[in-house]
Amino acid sequence: MESVYEAFFFLKYSGGWSFSEAYNLPIGLRKWFIERLSKQLKDEKEAIENAQNGGGSNSTELTAHNSPRMPKELKNFIGD
């Protein structure tokens, strides 16, 4: 029974589910969501670690040449 409570806690804490949402899920679907959420959190942790270590191939340093530009309409709206 404790493992069921642990599953509810994990879905509530990490996934933002309510207790009643987790409770009312069919067991197979609940297990799938737990496994998928666990995989997602693991992948996100690895991506953060790679970015912190400079290992991300998608990392780009912002410079004056590649910085995002504010749209003219917004620039005129805020008066900058």
Structure confidence by residue, pLDDT tens digits, 12-70: 999 899 999 999 999 999 999 999 999 999 999 999 998 888 765 666 788 888 888 87
77 versus 50: the higher-pLDDT residue is: 50
Cα distances (Å, whole numbers) of residue 15 to 30, 35, 37, 53, 61: 12, 12, 7, 27, 32
Predicted local confidence at residue 65, as pLDDT = 83
Whole-angstrom distance, CA of residue 3 vs CA of residue 1: 5
- Determine the pLDDT at residue 63: 85
Please, which residues have CB within 8 angstroms of residue 18's CB and are 6 or more apart in sequence? 12
pLDDT value of residue 80: 54
Signed CA dihedral, 21, 24, 26, 31: sign only: positive
